[in-house]
Chains A and B, each alone.
Chain A
Amino acid sequence: MPPAPREADLDAGGTAEQVPGEPGLWLLLLGDMTVFAALFGAFLVERRGDPALFATGADDLHAVIGLAATMVLLTSSLAVAVAVRLHRSGSGEAGARAVGWALWCAAGFVVLKAVEWQAHLSLGHSPGENPFWTFYFAITGLHLVHLVIGSVLLLGVRSAMRRPAPPQDRRLLVESCTSYWHMVDLLWVLIFPLLYVTGT
C-alpha cells in the first residue's frame, strides 16, 4: 500500500514521497545506529560470558532515572516533530518555540545523566571496574555525545526557524537536524530496555 502523502507536500505542490532532510545524511544516521547496534550485541555477548557479574552491575542501576530519561527524550522528540510541522505550515516562530521546549528536555536529560553518573562514581564504580561498567559508561557516554551534538543542531534549527524566509528554503536544514535528534531519541529507546530492564 503506498504511503499517505504529507499534507504540506501536497499543499506546496511537492512530491508525495520525499526523503526527510539530505538523502546522504541517512547513510550517516544508519551507520551511527549500526555502530550502536554492534555495541548492544557485544554487551549481550559479554553478558553471556559472565551473567552473575552483569546482573550485579545492573542491580546498581537506577531504573527510575532511566525511565525518566526515556520520557524526557520522547517528549523532546514530540516537540521537535511538532516544530517541523509548524515550520512547514509557515509558523516559524511557533516552531522555534517548540524547538525551545525540546532543548529544555535535552538539558533535563543531561541533568538526569549527571545525577546518575555521580551516584555510580560515588559508589566507586568506574569504566575500568569490570566489563559491565565499561559497557555502561561507553554506551551511555557515546549516547550523551550524540545528544550534545543534537542539541547544538537544534539551536541552529531554532535560529533558522526565526529568520523570515519561505519554509521550503530551510527544509533540508530543518529536516536533517531534526532527523538527527530523533535518532538520538530512537537510540535511547533501545538503550533503556537493554541496560535498565533486561540487564537486571
Chain B
Amino acid sequence: MHAQRILLITWTGLIAATLVSWLLGAEHALGGPPAAGAAVALVLGFAKARIVGRTFMEISTAPSALRWTFDLWIVVVATTLVVLVLA
C-alpha cells in the first residue's frame, strides 16, 4: 500500500538519523569538537521532529495556518537552542 510504504521509508530515515546523532555523541566522547557536534545533533533532532510532525501527525496535509505555526515553532525553538549551545 502506497501510504504505508511512505510511512516505512520515513521511519527508516528517522532511525538512520538517530544513529547518526548517537555517533556524533560517540565521536565527541573520543575527542571530537564539542559545540559543533552538539549543534549538528540538535539540528538533526529538530529535522526529525519536523518529519514526525509532517508525516506521522499529518501536518503536511493540514490547513496552512497549522503548517506555518508548526514550522515557526520548529525554527524559533531550534534557533534559540542552537544559539545557546554555540554562543
Q: What is the CB-to-nearest-CB distance from A101 to chain B, in angstroms, rounded to a whole number?
A: 13
Tell whether A70 pairs with B66 under 8 Å between CB atoms, given A37-B77, A198-B38, A200-B29.
Answer: no
In the complex, which residues of chain A have a beta carbon less than 8 angstroms from the beta carbon of B4?
82, 85
Q: Report which of A9, A17, A85, A189 forms a contact with B63, defined as CB distance below 8 A.
A: A17
Instruction: Assess the A197–B24 pair: CB atoms within 8 A.
Output: yes
In the complex, which residues of chain B have a beta carbon less than 8 angstroms from the beta carbon of A67?
18-19, 22
In the complex the two chains form, what is the Cα distance from A9 to B25 in whole Å?
42
In the complex, which residues of chain A have a beta carbon less than 8 angstroms from the beta carbon of B22?
63, 67, 196-197
B-side interface size class:
35 or more
Tell whether A18 pairs with B61 under 8 Å between CB atoms, given A82-B7, A193-B44.
Answer: yes
What residue in chain B is nearest A183 (Cβ atoms)? B57
In the complex, which residues of chain B have a beta carbon less than 8 angstroms from the beta carbon of A74?
11, 14-15, 18, 52
Instruction: Assess the A182–B53 pair: CB atoms within 8 A.
Output: yes
Instruction: Assess the A190–B46 pair: CB atoms within 8 A.
Output: yes
What residue in chain A is nearest B72 (Cβ atoms)? A30
What residue in chain B is nearest A5 (Cβ atoms)? B61
In the complex, which residues of chain B have a beta carbon less than 8 angstroms from the beta carbon of A81?
7, 55-56
Q: Measuring CB to CB, which residues of chain B are less than 8 angstroms from any residue of chain A?
A: 1-4, 7-8, 10-11, 14-15, 18-19, 21-22, 24-26, 28-29, 34, 37-39, 41-42, 44-46, 48-49, 52-53, 55-64, 66-67, 69-70, 73, 77, 80-81, 84-85
